[in-house]
Structure 1
Amino acid sequence: MNSISFDLTRFDAAIVDLDGTMVDTLGDFAASLNRMLDDLSLPHVAPAAIETMVGKGSEHLIHSALVHVMAPDAAADAKAQALFDRASERYQHHYLAINGQHSAVYPGVIDGLKALRASGLRLACLTNKPTSFAKPLLVDKGLDGFFELVFGGDAFERKKPDPMPLLKTCEALGTTPARTLMVGDSSNDARAARAAGCPVVLVTYGYNHGEPVRGVDADGFVDSLAELAPAALR
C-alpha cells in the first residue's frame, strides 16, 4: 500500500466509485441480464463472464452479454446491435425491480467512509452505472448519507475512463483535481483519474475487466476501504 492514502491532509475531497468498490453488485447484474436474455429467448451468461464486462456502463454491459451468448456466430456483433433497444428496455425493467436484492456492501466500506468524513473530506459518488440505478442502491445499502453528490454514467456527455466526469465532479465539489482523491476498483477509474490530475487509490477486490488490478497505474492499493483511515482512526 502506498502511503498516499494515509495522508488525508493532502485532500479536500474524495470521489468514490460504486460497483466493485463499495458494493458487490455482480449478483444484481447476473439476475437482470439473465432475465433480459430469457425475454429474448437467448441462453444465460455466467457470472464469471459478466464480471469481465462490468465497469463501462450499461450499454457496454448489455451489448457484451448479447455478443457473448451469440458467439461464435460471425455476425454476433451486428445481431446484438439489432436487438439492443429491446434488450436495453428489458434490462432496465428487470434491474429496477431487483436493484440491491442480490448485492452486498464490501467489508470495511462503512468504516472507510466514516474515516474519510471524520478527516474532513467532502465525498461524491461517481459511477458509470445509470443515476436511476445508483441512487436507489446507495439508499438501499445505507450509504447515501455519506455523499454530498451522486453522479451516474448518464450525468455527463462521457463516461470514465474519460476524465470529464471527474473534472465535472471536482467542479461541482469546488475542489481542485490535485486535492481530490479518486477511489475505485479498475483501470477505468485510474485512467480517468490520471487524465484529470487526481491521485488515485484502487481496491484489490473489485471488477477490473478480468485483469490483475495491481498491474494498473495507480498511486496505491488497499484490500479494504478501512485501510484509508489514518492509524488514529482505525
Structure 2
Amino acid sequence: MFKPELILSDLDGTLVDSVPDLAYAADQMMQQLDLPARGVDSVRLWVGNGVERLVKRTLTGEMYGEPPSDLLAKAFPLFMDCYGDTNGQRSQLYPGVREGLVWLHEHYRNLGCITNKSKRFTRPLLEQLGIADYFGIIVAGDSLPAKKPDPLPLTHCMDFFSKKPEQTLMIGDSTNDVQAARNAGCPIICVDYGYNHGEDIRLSGADAVISHFAELQRLLPL
C-alpha cells in the first residue's frame, strides 16, 4: 500500500456503530404513526444511503420502497426529532477506532470524515464520542449539492487539502463508499464489520479489506 497524503473516512459502519440510535429513533417514529416497529436487525440492513432513504425503508419495509408522499412528509420530521434526541446515546466506536485514529493523526495528519448523515447529527455524534478533533474537515450528506457515491464530497476534501486523487485514500464499509472512491479516482480500504445491506464487502472491488480498524497500522507505511 502506498503512503497517502490525505486519508478520508466514512463514519457510520466504519468508525461508529450508530445503528442502535437509528433503530431506536425509527421505532419511536413508527410508534407515533401507529405503525409496527422494525427493530435493530432490519435497520442494520437499511442504513448507508442517508436519512430520507432510511425513513422510506422503515415505512415500507423495503430497500427501494416509496411510501405515500403525505406519510413521508409526516414521518420525516418525526424521525429527525427522535434521532436528534437520542443521537450518540447508544452509538459506540468500533474496536480499534480510537487507537487507529490516534496513529493516523500522528503519522498522516491530513484526515477527513465523509458521511451521508445529516450535518445536524454528524458533528454532535463525533464530539460525543470524542473523535471530532482528529479531522481537519467533516463533510456531511447535506454539506454539498451531492453525496456519496457522487465523487463531490471526496474531491471537495482533496481541494481543501490541495491533494490529488492519487495522493488520497478512502476508508469505508460499503459498496457506496467503493463507488465514491472509484468515481473520485482514489484507492479504498474497506472494513468488513460495517453496513453493506447484508452483502459481503469483499465482492465490492475494494483495494483491501480489514477486520479491525487498527489493522491500518499494518497496511500503511510510515
Q: TM-score range by the shorter chain?
A: over 0.9
Q: Give the structure-1-normalised TM-score.
A: 0.89
8 A Cα contact 1:170 1:176, kept in partner: yes
**1:133 aligned to which of 106, 113, 121:** 121
Distance 1:141 1:103 in 2: 8
8 A Cα contact 1:56 1:159, kept in partner: no
- Check if 1:143 corresponds to 2:131: yes
Match of 1:197 in 2: 185
8 A Cα contact 2:59 2:67, kept in partner: no
Displacement of 1:232: 10
Q: Structure 2 counterpart of 1:101, which letter? A: Q
Q: Structure 1 counterpart of 2:183, which letter? A: A
Match of 1:61 in 2: 54
**2:18 aligned to which of 10, 17, 25:** 25
Match of 1:215 in 2: 203
Structure 1 SS opposite 2:113: strand
Post-superposition CA distance 1:76-130 (Å, at most 9, x none)? 7342x32112211011101111101111100000111111112123011100000
**2:75 aligned to which of 68, 71, 87:** 87
Displacement of 1:52: 1.5
After the TM superposition, which parts of structure 1 deviate over 2 Å for at least 4 consecutive aligned residues? 76-79, 230-233
Q: Percent identity?
A: 38
**2:7 aligned to which of 11, 14, 24:** 14
Q: CA RMSD in A?
A: 1.8
Structure 2 SS opposite 1:14: strand
Structure 2, unaligned stretches of length 5 or more? none
**2:66 aligned to which of 77, 100, 105:** 77
Displacement of 1:187: 0.4
Post-superposition CA distance 1:33-81 (Å, at most 9, x none)? 0111111111100211111211000011001111118x9xxxx7342x3
- Check if 1:155 corresponds to 2:155: no
**1:112 aligned to which of 95, 100, 118:** 100
8 A Cα contact 2:21 2:88, kept in partner: yes
Distance 1:143 1:84 in 2: 33
Describe the shift of the 1:180–1:231 C-alpha distance in structure 2 as closer, same or farther (beyond 3 A): closer
Q: Give the structure-2-normalised TM-score.
A: 0.94
Number of residue pairs matched by the alignment: 220
Q: Structure 2 counterpart of 1:202, which letter? A: C
Distance 2:161 2:24 in 1: 35
Structure 2 SS opposite 1:60: helix
Structure 1, unaligned stretches of length 5 or more? none
Structure 2 SS opposite 1:77: coil
8 A Cα contact 1:182 1:198, kept in partner: yes
8 A Cα contact 1:214 1:221, kept in partner: yes
